[in-house]
Structure 1
Amino acid sequence: MSQSPLKPEELTVPVPGGDLAVLRWPAEDPQAPTVVAVHGITANGLAWYEVARRLAGRVALLAPDLRGRGASRSVTGPYGLARHADDVAALIGALGSGPVTVVGHSMGAWVTALAAVRHPDLVRRVLLVDGAVTFPLPQGVREEDALAAVLGPALARLSTTFPDREAYREFWRGHPAFAGEWTEGIDAYTQRDLVGAEPELRSSCVLEAVQADGAQVLLDEDAAAAVHRLPCPADLIWAERGLFDEPQGLYDHERIGLAGLDPERVPASPVPDTNHYSILWGEAGADRIVRILLADALTAG
């Protein structure tokens, strides 16, 4: 019987600055392929709960809490996307599971692409979910204004305290991207983020880490170039709607076209009726991710 998605195994892997916390959902077959899943900028490893539930032990799934988040919040800086990519490589190497498929959502997609470029011997394939493609800032838009627009809502949450766990549930229930869609997985994911004691609970995310990583998502040249330099097969899928369920998502056909991706090397396609979060949590998005991962697992086998 595979481990419950709600209670995966918890491991640690030594990295510079501390021990990285890793969630592991083992495979039914010890010979099954391994997938490493990388979460977004203010998330944690339980962001992959719904994908793990649908995989149902057909592959081994490893999902770290990136440094400065979740149970890895005490892993010290420096932060940055390349540091996270090297942490992912350390995880693969420490568990002797490489080369593997790596899937990343949002900021995790940039980390995934960088891991493949920096450690091609450890990454055999990547799946990029609503991330990894960077666009130049529009003319006249200042870097600090762009950062404020992208990180503002996240930083406000990180600066807020909550009197109890139910208050944090209600905070997330009110998020437009989660409207009408609350599951045990979303609940477990959001509760994993809380640290401290009542009545001053707060997000586990380290402010310095989020600021450093967010700046690199927008501005780092190596991170922007990684998706164009991938040394392995890749797929990119994107959500039709945005972070707050707004009609315009991060990507669309025009933006993907302007990005200059090689469609032979990085085929890209939308997932209908998804937003930036539901592409990971909802039925349509999680099913698409699982189908791609399982198809790849068959070729790996």
Structure 2
Amino acid sequence: MNKPVELDLPVDGGTLRVLRFGDGPRVAVAAHGITASGMSVSGGARHLPDDWSLFAVDLRGRGGSTGTPGPYGIEQHAADICAAAERWGGGGEVALTGQSMGAYVALRAAVRRPGLFSRLLLIDGGLPLPFPEGADPDAVLDATLGPAIARLAMTYPDEAAYVDFFQAHPALGPYWSEDIEAYVRYDLMGPAGELRSRAREEAVRQDGRELLTQNAEFAKNVVELTVPAHLLYAPRGLFDAAPGMLPEPLVRQFAEHLTVEEVPDCNHYTILMGEAAGVVAGRLGG
């Protein structure tokens, strides 16, 4: 179930690329991380039962949707996710999931259109991130996502050089797999000798600012949830070191509004693209 069919979803301003994994009658829709693409869910999709189809949306400015114009932002991405659920949900129950930034997108979609979704699975995201009052969002983004943002402006002579760049990442290289490599290679575009990431920096920065400055809105969204929701979180973060993106005190603060589960021995990326992907599939398709 790890080789997707590429589909197009008409939306305001153009079309979005959607990757369909599987061909079963039960439907799930997924939203990815801030510089990622729908290919990031391929490991989890492979573990889903045969009666599932997983529709992973390439959000505006990423993957096969790199040329789809804005507006960007959590609200727009949530509307696009709802459009995918309407298009392929067949009027039935749709399971919704998102990882990292995609968890915030999925959370917003579930709050705005609860009737579309039967359950919500948040993966290492969705809870309000602490943001110092008066801080510059772009400076915070550069401090936390510096290497991920820097690669968006870089060019690479060939695919092997891009793979080498990712293999040097401390949270990915030690856990390298076919799923991670497929995700990395899918992200490339451009002519030979000048390959670059499909993720657009302007989209990443706009979405990143909202992730940092809308923490009160995200907290409100969690409290407002009416769709049954489950949170999976990793003990290690962006660089494979503890604490994770969602530290334990933050998780406990919101545990009365959704069920929570720490996935052992994984980081922010390998919770979805490593051996832990089987846990994700079990919670989504269970």
TM-score (ref. length: structure 2): 0.94
Mapped partners of 1:140, 1:219: distance in 2:
10
Q: Size of the alignment, in residue pairs?
A: 284
Match of 1:43 in 2: 36
Gaps of 5+ in 1: 296-301
User: Where does residue 259 of structure 2 map in the other structure?
Assistant: 267
Deviations 1:188-209 (A, max 9, x none): 1111100101211000011111
Describe the SS at the equivalent of 1:121.
Answer: helix
Q: Deviation per CA, 1:4-47, whole angstroms, max 9, x where unpaired?
A: 41x3111111001111111112334x3xx211111101111110
Q: Distance in 2 between matches of 1:184 and 1:137?
A: 36
Q: AA paired with 1:269?
A: E
Change (3 A) 1:217 1:27: same
Structure 2: how far apart are the matches of 1:35 and 1:199? Answer: 38
Q: Which residue in 2 is equivalent to 1:66?
A: 59
The equivalent residue for 1:82 is 75
Match of 2:279 in 1: 288
> Structure 1 residue 56: deviation in Å?
4.6
Contact 1:35–1:62 (CA<8 Å) still a contact in 2? Answer: yes
Aligned to 2:19: 23
Corresponding position of 2:251: 256
Alignment-mate amino acid for residue 217 of structure 1? L
Distance (whole Å) between structure 2 residues aligned to residue 223 and residue 161 of structure 1: 35
| Aligned residue number for residue 230 of structure 2 | 235
Aligned residues with identical type, % of pairs: 44
For residues 43-82 of structure 1, the C-alpha deviation after alignment (integer angstroms, 9 at most, x for no partner) is: 1111011011111523111101111101111110010011
Could you say which residue in structure 2 is the equivalent of 1:299? none
C-alpha displacement of 1:140: 6.8
> Quick one: distance in 1 between partners of 2:198 and 2:23?
29
Per-residue deviation at 1:229?
Answer: 1.5
CA distance, structure 1, for counterparts of residue 72 and residue 134 of structure 2: 28
TM-align CA RMSD: 1.6
Report the TM-score when normalising by structure 1. Answer: 0.89
2:68 alignment partner, SS class: coil
Contact 2:27 2:89 in 1 (8 A): no
CA distance in 2, matches of 1:148, 1:290: 32
Contact 2:97-2:106 at 8 Å conserved across structures: yes
1:109 matches 2:103: yes
CA distance in 1, matches of 2:72, 2:117: 21
**2:59–2:77 CA contact under 8 A, matched in 1:** yes
Q: Structure 1 residue runs of 4+, over 6 Å off?
A: none
